[in-house]
Every structure is written in structure tokens, then in C-alpha cells.
């Protein structure tokens, strides 16, 4: 089911609120999203019409199974993208979170799958010490045991003998 970015944000806010408080009410969504009561009411009615939430005025809001599925997908995209922007690109957490909020709604499943695979690779890469440098892009820090052969990585060792020493071999 196709849901607008705005409604995805509502589902995510409902999911987070239910997780944190055990239940969600319209006023919780107003506070979470910083929107007006009338906007929340309109969005909740729309989500209920799409059978993504169970909603009645002045009652608790719950996600249907379809709503939970979409909310979990949106939260997963957001978490992965925020981690990518913070850990790989070295952005401050707040900026990474804001960027993830924008990207999570427009990224295609295929592109997102590639992000997931790249983040997994980056987190499990045997070349620890890979960092982001605003001038050079990625570079391998001096604590890297091996390097990828790029000039930025090999420049951390002054000579091949120093690199061999880092690797534990002799040149």
C-alpha cells in the first residue's frame, strides 16, 4: 500500500509512542510531531480509512497489522540511514537524524537494500580505522592494519617497510 511521507511520519510517531508509553493518544502525536490538533485528527482519520490504525476520537490509537508493518519498515529505513549518515559520513547525530527523516520516504527498496549491505560491510570491515575526512573523503587511520591500496590509505604508512611492520611481515 502506498502511503504519503506525512502519513508514514504519523505511523512512526504512533509506533514510537506506543513503544515508550504503552498507548498513543492524539495529544501524544501532536507533541511528537509538533503539529496542530486539527492536522493530527485529519491524519488519524485518513490512516483509519486506510485500515492502518484503530482510531476513535478521545480513545487510544493502535496500529493494525498493516500499520505495524509499514511503521516497522519506516523505522528500519530511518535507523539504517541515520547510522549511515552518522557513522560513515561522520555527520553529527542531529544532522544525520534530520537527513534520514528526509531520505527515508523517497528511497527505493533496491537503493535501500544497497545501503543496508554497505552499512553491514562498513561495520564489519576488517580495516578498522576507516574514517571520514571532509577534505579527502574516506581515509584509513594510522591504526589500520591493512589498507585498500588507495593513496589516502597508504599515506598513513611512510614506507612499505612501515606498512609491512604494521601487517606483521617483513618487506
Tell me the CATH number of domain 5-69, given options 3.50.50.60, 1.10.10.10, 3.40.50.720, 1.10.1370.30.
1.10.10.10
Structural contact between residues 115 and 84, judged by C-beta atoms closer than 8 angstroms: yes
> Containing H/E element for 134?
none
Coil, strand or helix at 83? helix
Report pLDDT for 32.
Answer: 95
Separation CA 97–CA 81 (nearest Å): 8
CATH of range 75-124; options 1.20.1530, 1.10.150, 1.10.60, 1.10.1200: 1.10.60
Report pLDDT for 11. Answer: 97
Query: The cell 577534505 sits on which residue?
Result: 135
Q: Of residues 63 and 116, which shows the higher confidence score? A: 63
Provide the whole-model pTM.
Answer: 0.72
Question: What average pLDDT score do residues 136-157 get?
Answer: 52
C-alpha cell at 19: 513503544
Direct distance between the N- and C-terminal alpha carbons of the chain, in angstroms, rounded to an integer: 60
Q: What's the mean pLDDT when you consider all of the chain?
A: 81
Amino acid at each position: 500500500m502506498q502511503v504519503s511521507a506525512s502519513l508514514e511520519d504519523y505511523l512512526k510517531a504512533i509506533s514510537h509512542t506506543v513503544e515508550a508509553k504503552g498507548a498513543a493518544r492524539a495529544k501524544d502525536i501532536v507533541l511528537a510531531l509538533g503539529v496542530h490538533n486539527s492536522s493530527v485528527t485529519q491524519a488519524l482519520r485518513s490512516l483509519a480509512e486506510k485500515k492502518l490504525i484503530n482510531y476513535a476520537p478521545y480513545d487510544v490509537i493502535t496500529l493494525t497489522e498493516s500499520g505495524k508493518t509499514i511503521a516497522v519498515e519506516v523505522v528500519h529505513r530511518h535507523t539504517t540511514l541515520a547510522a549511515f549518515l552518522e557513522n560513515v559520513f561522520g555527520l553529527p547525530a542531529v544532522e544525520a537524524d534530520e537527513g534520514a527523516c528526509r531520505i527515508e520516504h523517497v528511497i527505493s527498496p533496491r537503493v535501500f537494500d544497497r545501503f543496508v549491505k554497505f552499512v553491514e560491510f562498513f561495520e564489519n570491515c576488517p580495516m578498522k580505522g576507516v574514517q571520514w575526512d571532509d577534505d579527502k573523503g574516506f581515509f584509513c587511520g594510522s591504526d589500520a592494519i591493512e589498507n585498500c591500496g588507495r593513496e589516502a590509505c597508504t599515506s598513513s604508512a611512510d614506507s612499505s617497510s612501515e606498512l609491512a611492520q604494521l601487517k606483521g611481515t617483513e618487506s
